[in-house]
Structure 1
Amino acid sequence: MQDVDQLFLLKLGFKDPAYPGKTFYCWHCALMEGVLSSFPELAGRLEVQRISWPRPRQELVDLLGEAHQSLPVLVLAEGGFIDDKDAILAALTERHGFPHPHP
């Protein structure tokens, strides 16, 4: 177990061999990046790791097992994880004091 929540995001600007010549971003991860950059003092309460797109994503395999490599994912300090973007945003509010997303 770690002592802080860890938020894993895809590095922005990755390539997918299935789509030659194109560069991509994960829009769920980009959403998280926007929230983090908007509230840097709160983002400092998390450990944020930006990892590469190709699988296997060894960092996640080591923590969560091979079946759980989707991003974004919030790994909770006390164990467990959240891998739904809306649930991650709710956890950032509840656990770390981020403002609520407007409905």
Structure 2
Amino acid sequence: MKDTLYLLAPGFEDPAYPGKSFYCWHCALLEGVLASFPGLAAGIEVRRISWPRPRREIADLLGEENQSLPVLVLAEGGFIDDKDGILEALSTRHGFPHPHP
């Protein structure tokens, strides 16, 4: 089993902001890192989830209270749900270069 990175699919709408389309900038950042190192990205399963809640796939996996994305679900159990932690895990667990400070 691989680590699985869940990202929000870009181009979603939020009813609180009619007529606008959005992307999650944390997810876009991670998409850019994955695209920059496709050979390393092949070692991670990536799933893109629709924006509206409930995000059943995530809620069923991590619980109703843990539906925020992005999230990296670790193969051995547990998860990381903040962009900096995910970037660190990509470096330490999967050999991606470290982000420059």
Name the TM tier (shorter chain). over 0.9
Task: Tell me the percent identity.
Answer: 76
| Corresponding residue for residue 32 of structure 2 | 34
2:74 aligned partner, one-letter code: L
Superposition map of 1:1-16 within 5 A: 3-16=1-14
Following TM superposition, the consecutive aligned residue runs of length 4 or more in structure 1 with deviations greater than 4 angstroms are: none
In the alignment, does 2:101 pair up with 1:94? no
Whole-Å separation in 2 of the counterparts to 1:12 and 1:42: 22
| Corresponding residue for residue 52 of structure 2 | 54
In the alignment, does 2:78 pair up with 1:80? yes
When normalised by structure 1's length, the TM-score is 0.97
| Corresponding residue for residue 25 of structure 1 | 23
When normalised by structure 2's length, the TM-score is 0.99
Once the two structures are superposed, residues 25-76 of structure 1 have per-residue CA deviations (whole angstroms, 9 ceiling, x without a partner) of 0000000000000000100000000000000001101110100000000000
2:41 aligned partner, one-letter code: A
Gap runs ≥5 in structure 2 = none
Gap runs ≥5 in structure 1 = none
Aligned residues: 101
Instruction: Please tell me the root mean square deviation across aligned C-alpha atoms, in Å.
Output: 0.4
